Amino acid sequence: MGQFATGVAVIAIQSESGAISAMTINSLVSVSLDPMLVSWNLQNASSQYAAYAEAERFSFSILAGGQQALARRYAARGDSALMLEDFEDGVGGLPMIRGALAHLACRRFAVHSAGDHTLILGEVTDMAQAAPGELPLVFFGGRFGALAG
């Protein structure tokens, strides 16, 4: 699957006390238009497995080409590297990455066991195209790259 180029997104969740957790992912997939569903896969070995698997609401920020450093930051284990200034109050009142191409707010729709990952479906409740015309960050062959303009 390393030969399948994907975009890169950051999923973010917020606890009842307001603490934000965020993780870089490339498993975001469009699943259904009616209802509007997307899915992503969560590693069962994640140090934050329970928080992501049990979150009733979550957001996706689809990263722009210039956000590679941010993608690396949110691929670090745990949340020690989290920088609040990376986030803004996005659509649906959820934390989302500032300067991302697009924002999706989701409500958990279904959770399925899938080998050493867990497949999580989210129903999209709000969305915004945050930076129209900008090019995406791309992941291919284990490396980040950019689309040629």
Among 13, 23, 102, 124, binds ligand FMN (CB under 6 A): 23
Q: Which residue, 142 or 149, has its beta carbon nearer to ligand FMN?
A: 142
* DSSP letters spanning 73-122: HTTSSSSTT--GGGEEE-GGG-EEETT-SEEEEEEEEEEEEETTEEEEEE
Using the contact rule CB under 6 A, the part of the chain among 30-38, 42-50, 93-101, 106-114 near ligand FMN is: 42-50
Quick check: 74 and 87 in contact, CB under 8 A?
no
Among the listed ranges 39-47, 55-63, 104-112, 125-133, the one in contact with ligand FMN (CB under 6 A) is 39-47
Q: Are 92 and 59 in contact (CB under 8 A)?
A: yes
Q: How many of the other CB atoms lie within 10 Å of CB of 7?
A: 17
Cα–chain center distance at 47: 17
Piece of the chain touching ligand FMN by CB under 6 A; list 57-65, 70-78, 99-107, 125-133: 70-78
CB-nearer residue toward ligand FMN: 35 or 78: 78
Binding-site member from 12, 13, 14, 25 for ligand FMN (CB under 6 A): 25
| Residue 131: DSSP 8-state | S
> Which residues of this protein are in contact with ligand FMN, per CB under 6 A?
8, 23-27, 40-43, 46-48, 75, 77-78, 139
